[in-house]
């Protein structure tokens, strides 16, 4: 039906609706209440026993009178409900209400009751005049309160008006139910129309919730169906390269070149990857493990399988520092095996770059480690069989797939330390298979974290003295506040000078984003070799950097960092045998959120716990950057609070795809009509041409 056909519809009201994005009557049906007021229960004066709670009473006016003088004039009325008397008071609109309150008139009133002297009283009660007691049922119910704004207020589009309109529209609304009946039944969902009915005209405090669950489910279900289908299709369609997993290379490496034993988690991950390599399908697996869980080694062993089967590997890192570091680590491990690894970054000289490119194209290099530079068109592989993306959260879904397109449909392995809460991981990585590394190498002692203020700085420095005299090393990190790179730099540079002056007997280094990669690299190498004992840096060292002998980190202005960033930074220590420490230096003024962040860091080392708190504080979009992460904007669902519904949605999506992968059954045709365009739209995030 047309909006104009609604009772009491005017041009001004039309404008107000348009301004709020409502141009059709159907959209009004999906304009959901912001909250509900439960006025379904009638109370009695002689049962009131608690002050300051909202109550609903049916009363008859006994008498009313003006009290006070001048500006302080007020209207008082005594009203009776058969069980007792309550006093009603008005300080405003005195004249208006005085006319209304004829003795003997009956009103349904609701508001906050308070005890004053001999009477219970209610100030400025909401009231509904009742000429006839039989009307009472339609007034005793749960009332929806709709989101309002200035335009709505100006044109008197009140909750009551909206409800009246919606009632008319809903009567003529006969939507197609596209969710399969079997799912509605199993998940106990109302059909679309009933859900709307309950949301706008709830009969009790629970059925509107049930109504909303339906729409949350629907939204999450479509999304899950989409990512799970992408995954299922890939498995179905993409033939995977077959690697030999009885690799001599791997066994030699583990036997002769590995200085420690693999953890159970590492073994578990490697088993899963091996299975992918021999399964005949192209794999797309996420290895998720907290910082320091040893993901690089898992990557390396996976690469050895690929190399032994005659393929090349690409290993992509989000920053140059990290790419360089991976390069050195891999070099150290694989050179003794007679293999070649090369580094490709954006900052290399043309001659070096050309040489690397030739090596990659010619097939003489087994592994190439690099940054985004790996995406570029002139990077041609000879036989790319495995692409690994480190610290996946830094890259969007798009980029992940871009790399995969470079070879012969290589296996793809992504590694992430961002301990993403389960709900988010399911949404973001629904198209991936996920393996968790739950443990860390045995020798690790939990990092001790403490918050310190400026007053305690000297004590903190004495602590560093002690650590350094025992041969340890420390990081001092300054935040990068985007607004002014220059100022940030000043912060770090000043910090550097200050530290140099305070610790004259030690060597202090400085790295920040403005340095060339050679300069950064040179300083990092010195730190790794313990030629530098204190490394002052901006957050360029945030991800992945691995210097086991560095057992202490001071984070300046710690309150300015996000929680997951703090956790990532802290992950730079606690990588060796030493007891490690993380000191969070806090500023004078802390916001409430800032305090929660620091307290959380002090309380736990568990990345998942940190992530949950972060999700609560920031919301999912902000946590990962909605756009680049490929996360949709949900209208009804909320990834923080609707995790349970999400789980069920995923399960149902998987069930459905197993039963009817292409939605061909007659009972799925309605769903198919909705799903197909949705899928086309969403797939853009996953496939590039």
For the chain, the distance separating the N- and C-terminal CA atoms, rounded to the nearest angstrom, is 42
Shortest CB 563 distance to ligand ADP, Å: 18
Q: How far is CA 160 from CA 63, 156, 458, 540, in A?
A: 30, 10, 64, 56
> Pick from 225, 173, 176, 219: which is nearest to 200 by CA?
173
Q: Which is nearer to ligand ADP, 162 or 545 (CB)?
A: 545
Residue 366 interacts, among Mg ion, ligand ADP, none and using kind-specific CB cut-offs from 5 to 8 Å, with none
Distance (Å, rounded) from C-alpha 4 to C-alpha 24? 10
Q: Which is nearer to Mg ion, 407 or 544 (CB)?
A: 544
Q: How many residues bind ligand ADP (CB under 6 A)?
A: 19
Q: CB nearer to ligand ADP: give 166 or 291.
A: 291
Selected binder of Mg ion within 385, 544, 571, 632 (CB under 5 A):
544
Where does this chain touch ligand ADP (CB under 6 A) — which range of 107-115, 125-133, 295-303, 479-487? 295-303
Rounded least distance, CB 252 to ligand ADP, Å: 18
Does residue 419 touch ligand ADP according to CB under 6 A?
no
Residues 256-275 that bind ligand ADP (CB under 6 A): 260-263, 266
CB 578 within 8 A of CB 586: no
Rounded to whole angstroms, the Cα distance separating 465 from 369 reads: 37
Unique residue bearing structure tokens 């568990």: 606
Query: Closest distance between Mg ion and the C-beta of residue 438, in Å?
Result: 16
Q: Please, is 151 exposed, middle or buried when counting C-beta atoms within 10 Å of its C-beta (0-12, 13-18, 19+)?
A: middle
Q: What's the count of helices (H) and strands (E) in the chain, helices before strands?
A: 26, 21
Return the residues of window 430-459 that contact ligand ADP according to CB under 6 A.
441
Q: Is 361 in the site for ligand ADP (CB under 6 A)?
A: no
> What tokens appear for 673 in the block?
């009509």
Piece in contact with Mg ion (CB under 5 A), picked from 309-317, 506-514, 530-538, 541-549 = 541-549
Choosing from 33, 125, 294, 370, the residue that interacts with ligand ADP (CB under 6 A) is 294
Question: Which member of 295, 342, 400, 578 binds ligand ADP (CB under 6 A)?
Answer: 295
Q: Is 296 in the site for ligand ADP (CB under 6 A)?
A: yes
In which residue are the tokens 């912060």 written? 491
Q: C-beta of 192: minimal distance to Mg ion in Å? A: 47
Could you say whether residue 293 binds ligand ADP (CB under 6 A)?
A: yes
Nearer to ligand ADP, 438 or 452 (CB): 438
Distance separating alpha carbons of residues 317 and 560, to the nearest angstrom: 25
If one asks whether residue 228 binds ligand ADP (CB under 6 A), the answer comes out as no
Q: Which stretch binds Mg ion (CB under 5 A): 336-344, 403-411, 468-476, 542-550?
A: 542-550
Q: Strands of 366-513 (E only): list them.
A: 367-370, 384-389, 411-416, 433-437, 448-453, 473-477, 508-511
- Six-digit token string for 365: 């290099």
Among 180, 202, 289, 318, binds ligand ADP (CB under 6 A): 289
Which of these segments, 1-9, 28-36, 497-505, 543-551, binds ligand ADP (CB under 6 A)? 543-551
Rounded CA-CA distance 565/555 in Å is 11
Residue from 292, 385, 410, 607 binding ligand ADP (CB under 6 A): 292
Instruction: State the Cα–Cα distance between residues 556 and 474, nearest whole angstrom.
Output: 13
Q: Which is nearer to Mg ion, 197 or 435 (CB)?
A: 435
| 125 is an interface residue for Mg ion by CB under 5 A | no
Closest alpha carbon to 539 in 527, 516, 557: 557
What contacts 271, CB < 8 A, 6 or more positions away? none
> Interface residues for Mg ion in 6-25 (CB under 5 A)?
none
CB of 285 to ligand ADP, least distance (A): 15
DSSP 3-state of 207: helix
Query: Which of Mg ion, ligand ADP, none does residue 292 bind to, with CB < 5 to 8 Å depending on kind?
Result: ligand ADP
| Crossing angle of helices 207-237 and 669-683, rounded to 10° | 70
State the minimum distance, in angstroms, from the CB of residue 271 to ligand ADP.
15
Strands of the sheet containing 367-370, edge to edge, are: 341-344, 367-370, 312-316, 384-389, 411-416, 284-289, 433-437
Residue 368, number of CB atoms within 10 A of its CB: 25
Q: Would you give the DSSP letter of residue 47?
A: G
The reply to whether 292 sits near Mg ion by the rule CB under 5 A is no
Residue placing its CB nearer to Mg ion in the complex, 476 or 545? 545
Q: Which residues sit at the interface with Mg ion, rule CB under 5 A?
A: 544
Q: Which residues sit at the interface with ligand ADP, rule CB under 6 A?
A: 260-263, 266, 289, 291-297, 417, 441, 544, 546, 548, 575
């Amino acid at each position: 039906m047309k909006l104009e056909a609604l009772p009491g519809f005017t041009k001004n009201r039309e404008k107000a609706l348009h301004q709020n994005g409502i141009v059709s009557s159907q959209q009004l049906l999906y304009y959901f209440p912001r909250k509900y007021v439960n006025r379904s229960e009638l109370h009695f004066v002689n049962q009131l026993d608690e002050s300051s709670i909202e109550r609903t009473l049916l009363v008859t006016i006994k008498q009313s009178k003006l009290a006070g003088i001048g500006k302080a004039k007020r209207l008082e009325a005594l009203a009776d409900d058969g069980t007792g008397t309550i006093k009603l008071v008005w300080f405003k609109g005195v004249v208006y209400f005085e006319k209304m309150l004829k003795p003997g008139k009956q009103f349904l009133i609701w508001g906050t009751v308070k005890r004053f002297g001999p009477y219970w009283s209610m100030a400025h009660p909401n009231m509904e005049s009742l000429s006839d007691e039989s009307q009472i049922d339609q007034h005793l119910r749960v009332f929806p309160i709709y989101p309002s704004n200035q335009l709505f207020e100006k044109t008197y589009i009140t909750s009551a008006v909206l409800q009246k309109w919606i009632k008319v529209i809903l009567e003529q609304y006969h939507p197609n139910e596209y969710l399969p009946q079997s799912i509605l039944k199993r998940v106990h969902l109302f059909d679309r129309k009933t859900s709307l009915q309950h949301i706008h005209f709830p009969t009790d405090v629970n059925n509107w919730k049930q109504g909303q669950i339906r729409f949350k489910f629907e939204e999450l279900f479509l999304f899950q169906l989409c990512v799970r289908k992408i995954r299922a299709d890939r498995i179905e369609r993409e033939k995977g390269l077959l690697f030999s997993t009885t690799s001599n290379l791997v066994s030699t490496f583990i036997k002769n070149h590995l200085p420690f034993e693999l953890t159970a988690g590492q073994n578990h991950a490697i088993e899963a990857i091996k299975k992918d390599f021999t399964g005949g399908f192209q794999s797309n697996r996420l290895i998720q493990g907290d910082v320091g869980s040893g993901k690089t080694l898992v990557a390396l062993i996976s690469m050895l399988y690929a190399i032994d089967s005659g393929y090349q590997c690409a290993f992509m890192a989000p920053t140059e520092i990290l790419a360089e570091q991976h390069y050195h680590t891999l070099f150290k491990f694989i050179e003794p095996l007679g293999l070649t690894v090369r580094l490709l970054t954006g900052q290399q000289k043309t001659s070096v770059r050309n040489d690397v490119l030739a090596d990659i194209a010619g097939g003489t290099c087994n592994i190439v480690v690099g940054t985004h530079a790996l995406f570029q068109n002139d990077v041609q592989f000879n036989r790319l069989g495995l692409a690994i993306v480190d610290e996946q959260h830094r890259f969007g879904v798009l980029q992940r797939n871009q790399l995969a397109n470079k070879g012969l449909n290589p296996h793809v392995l992504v590694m992430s330390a961002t301990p993403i809460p389960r709900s988010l991981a399911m949404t973001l990585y629904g198209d991936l298979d996920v393996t968790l590394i739950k443990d860390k190498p045995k020798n690790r002692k939990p990092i001790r974290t403490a918050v310190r203020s400026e007053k305690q700085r000297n004590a903190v420095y004495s602590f560093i003295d002690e650590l350094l005299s025992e041969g340890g090393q420390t990081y001092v990190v300054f935040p990068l506040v985007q607004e002014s790179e220059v100022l940030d730099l000043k912060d770090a540079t000043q910090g550097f000078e200050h530290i140099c002056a305070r610790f004259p007997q030690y060597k202090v280094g400085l790295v920040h984003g403005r340095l060339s990669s050679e300069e950064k690299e040179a300083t990092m190498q010195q730190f790794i070799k313990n030629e530098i004992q204190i490394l002052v840096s901006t957050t360029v060292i945030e991800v992945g950097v691995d210097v086991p002998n560095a057992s202490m980190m001071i984070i300046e202005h710690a309150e300015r960092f996000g929680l997951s960033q703090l956790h990532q930074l802290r992950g730079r220590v606690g990588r060796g045998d030493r007891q490690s420490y993380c000191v969070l230096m806090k500023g004078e003024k802390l916001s409430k959120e800032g305090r929660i962040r620091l307290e959380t860091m002090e309380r736990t080392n568990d990345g998942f716990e940190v992530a949950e708190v972060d999700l609560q504080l920031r919301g999912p979009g902000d946590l990962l950057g909605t756009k680049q992460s490929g996360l949709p904007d949900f209208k009804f669902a909320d990834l923080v609070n609707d995790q349970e519904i999400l789980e069920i949605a995923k399960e149902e999506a998987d069930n459905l795809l197993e039963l009817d992968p292409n939605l061909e059954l007659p009972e799925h045709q309605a769903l198919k009509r909705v799903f197909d365009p949705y899928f086309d739209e969403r797939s853009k995030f996953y496939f590039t041409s």
